[in-house]
Amino acid sequence: MGFFLLLFACLLPAFFCLQCTLPSDFWCDHPEVEHLCTGSSSYCDNYKLSNPTGRLSIKLAFESYCPDSQAFVVDRLYRQFINNPNVSSIVDFKAIPWGLATRLQDGSVACHHRERECVGNRHISCAFQYLPTFDQKNRFLYCFMNHLLYQGRITDGINDCFARVGLASASDFVLQCASGPQADQLQRIDELDTQKILNEPRFVPYLQFGEKSSLHMQYYQVMLAEKLVAMSSTLRIPSRTTEASSKCTTPPDFWCSSGAITNECFSENQCMTFLNGIYGQPVEITVIYDSSSPVSRDYVTNYISKNLLQQPNIKNKVRIKLRSAALSLAEDRACAGRNGTNCHDYAIQECIANKVANKQEISKLLHCLLDSHQTPGDMHLIWASKCHFMQENYNINLKEDVLNCASSLEWRVHWRRRLQMEASLTPEPKSADPWIILNGFSLKSVQSHAHILHRMICAWYRGPGHSRDLCGRCEYEPTHC
């Protein structure tokens, strides 16, 4: 049944007839998508079964005195993860204080930011040994890195931060540990763990999701909370088998990011087919909105407009389609012959969507209506006095064509067609407002990306002159720029 639904959906312009154009982030979020994009359910089942607790495993390689490490922990990790129990509760997190330090031939350690960093790293390694819970470790990490960021003394930082996590009596043990052989042993473990994480180019902070790392993972430093929630939701979807045939712990977002990950989690040939298929194709985002909803209007006029429509640097990488949500049958009956003010507004929008040939032009004109809309029923006047002038190639007849359509029964013909199209969205029906369709696919999991779409374009697009390796590099590693 699912196959035929998807086949039927290909009759709609938004779908790309049985070709997987959906970013790999979503491949394991629905059975129909699994089969279309991976050819079976085995790859996604292996991933879920290899993470049996349903908790994501994340490691962070960092340095105590690295400005980028300090900024990440204090400004991003704390806000998005440490101080966000909805996120920290779904992740197994480990911070590893070694970074770009090197061990010399005589066994001594040379740290990236000189001796003070070696001392700071040793104290963090020891502190983690004396903190029994993940929450205490994470809160100590934030407190101590914040202390070093503002040039505080290491000893004062240990005493203050242990007091803040409720273990003031243990701070003396940490100070003693840091100056002795126990710290040497702990740092050797951190050294080995870091070697497994860092790839070329080598820099910190550096995140690893699962048991393999990739440069592509680092972009998620700037949207960590949203992506962790999305990844966790994928893991909570039950697998259909009980035994894994691989040890893939890497989220599908990165299955085509490196040879090592691809060989463990997916298929090199299928990655090549997918990447070749989307190369040079703009990411297509359709936003179905309810013009009578303030939340929906605000999403379009503020987030979508400012972050996507008005960004010339991504113009060739994304297509934005705005579409007014179809009135429900109950709403249509309530119109009482189209006397309701919301029906006036809907009729104007529906007529614009069907009278204008250029799809990008439709979005621009609808945005004009939403941006100027203040009271129910005013879109008729806004169109007549303002928005029809927004046409790029001005059609003198369009103003009256739309008004005539909206004041007759013609708009209802278009409405019925849109109602049928919305009812046939696959693989999942519209269940919220606004609703985002990505490359023709209607999925609940896409909705969790509603406010990071402007960032995800860089990760999802493949084309000439574009490198995913550079996505967000100057944000998560500003000293590089």
User: What average pLDDT does the chain have?
Assistant: 93
Does the CA dihedral 307-308-313-314 come out positive or negative? Answer: positive
Query: Does residue 434 have a cis bond before it (omega within 30 degrees)?
Result: yes
Q: What is the pLDDT of residues 251-278, one digit of tens each?
A: 999 999 999 999 999 999 999 999 999 9
424 has pLDDT over 80 = yes
CB under 8 Å to 459, separation ≥6 — which residues?
23, 216, 219, 253, 468, 471
CB under 8 Å to 328, separation ≥6 — which residues?
none
Residue showing tokens 């049958």: 329
| CA distance readout (Å), 349 to 164, 226, 257 | 56, 32, 42
Residue showing tokens 């109950």: 330
Tokens representing 424?
A: 């046939």
Q: What is the pLDDT of residues 339-386, one digit of tens each?
A: 456 788 999 999 999 999 998 899 999 999 999 999 989 999 999 999
- Look at residues 267, 261, 236, 230 and name the one whose alpha carbon lies nearest to residue 42: 267
Q: What is the pLDDT of residues 198-217, one digit of tens each?
A: 988 999 999 999 999 999 99
Q: What is the pLDDT of residues 432-463, one digit of tens each?
A: 999 999 999 999 999 999 999 999 999 999 99
CB under 8 Å to 420, separation ≥6 — which residues?
none
* Other Cβ atoms closer than 10 A to 160: 16
Longest Cα–Cα distance of the chain, Å, equals: 88
Beta carbons of 60 and 206 less than 8 angstroms apart: yes
- DSSP readout, 104-163? -TTS-EE-TTHHHHHHHHHHHHHHHHT--SHHHHHHHHHHHHHHHHTT--HHHHHHHHHH
- The full set of domains in the chain, from first to last, is 24-51+225-278 (no CATH), 56-209 (3.40.30.10), 283-460 (3.40.30)
125 has pLDDT over 90 = yes
17 has pLDDT over 80 = no
Tokens representing 177?
A: 């540990």
- DSSP readout, 324-354? EPPPPHHHHHHTTTTTSHHHHHHHHHHHHHH
Query: Backbone dihedral region of 99: left (phi > 0), alpha (psi from -120 to 50 degrees) or beta?
Result: left
Calculate ∠ Cα 476-146-134, nearest 5°. 85
**H or E stretch covering 231:** helix 224-235
Tokens representing 44?
A: 């996604």
Q: What is the pLDDT of residues 51-80, one digit of tens each?
A: 999 999 999 999 999 999 999 999 999 999
